[in-house]
A and B are shown apart, each in its own frame.
Chain A
Amino acid sequence: GDSVTQMEGPVTLSEEAFLTINCTYTATGYPSLFWYVQYPGEGLQLLLKATKADDKGSNKGFEATYRKETTSFHLEKGSVQVSDSAVYFCALSGLLVNSNSGYALNFGKGTSLLVTP
């Protein structure tokens, strides 16, 4: 089945630092790729997505490019703020391992980001 591997956290950065959170995937087809963000005590919010190779998703200063050749979808932001502190999940829309649901979102384990003033 398809799967997503995300870099382990937590990641601690100073305000205005550059952020990269690595995400790689394995898939048999051509999945869409997503980044979701979860603020403390809340559900997930869609941050950005890309539906095909070389697409760049962007939102709120965050960017990620769908790289088929390296099977990656790394999340970047040029200058993080304290308000960006959250858990970030990389996901793909594909076949889940051992799933009865066929196509669904397959999440990475999440990367916790803490931005300090």
Chain B
Amino acid sequence: GAVVSQHPSWVICKSGTSVKIECRSLDFQATTMFWYRQFPKQSLMLMATSNEGSKATYEQGVEKDKFLINHASLTLSTLTVTSAHPEDSSFYICSARHLYQETQYFGPGTRLLVL
């Protein structure tokens, strides 16, 4: 149990385009989902926390207009990178948490390359 999927796993896009990444909890209801960014050989940087039915909470330094997060249901959260630029190229990982539990379950990640 506790499987989280992400789609797509890889995306290459041109500078200026927008990219949407989906995060789904497949076998449980996730009241809270988290979005992380990971640079090569580094730890995960929390970008935002997404609660179902409410606005996402962004970490300091993360542009909310650039990284749009929607958590419309208990099993789906989306991250849209708007007007992507090469510096947005990174590995984006989502995680999901059961209601009332601390353990986060992670998706396999999405590698974004902006040309």
Spell out A's residues near B (CB within 8 Å).
Answer: 32, 34, 36, 41-46, 49, 51, 89, 93, 96, 98-102, 104-105, 107-110, 112
Which residues of chain B have a CB within 8 Å of any CB of chain A? Answer: 4, 6, 34, 41-44, 46, 48-49, 57-60, 93, 95, 102-109, 111
Contact A43–B46 (Cβ < 8 Å): no
**Contact call B44/A107, Cβ cutoff below 8 A:** yes
**Judging by beta carbons under 8 Å apart, are B103 and A34 in contact?**
yes
In-complex Cβ contact of B43 among A32, A49, A102, A107 (8 A): A107
| B46–A99 CB distance below 8 A | yes
Report the separation of the CA atoms of residues A42 and B105 in the bound assembly, to the nearest whole angstrom.
13
Chain A residues near B104: list those with CB within 8 A. 46, 105
Residues of A within 8 A of B43 (CB): 89, 107-110
| Contact residues of B: prevailing secondary structure | strand
Q: How far is the CB of B73 from chain A (nearest CB, A)?
A: 20
Report chain B residues within 8 Å CB of A104.
Answer: 34, 46, 49
Q: Which B residues are in CB contact (< 8 Å) with A34?
A: 103
Contact of A93 among B42, B46, B102, B106 (CB under 8 A): B102
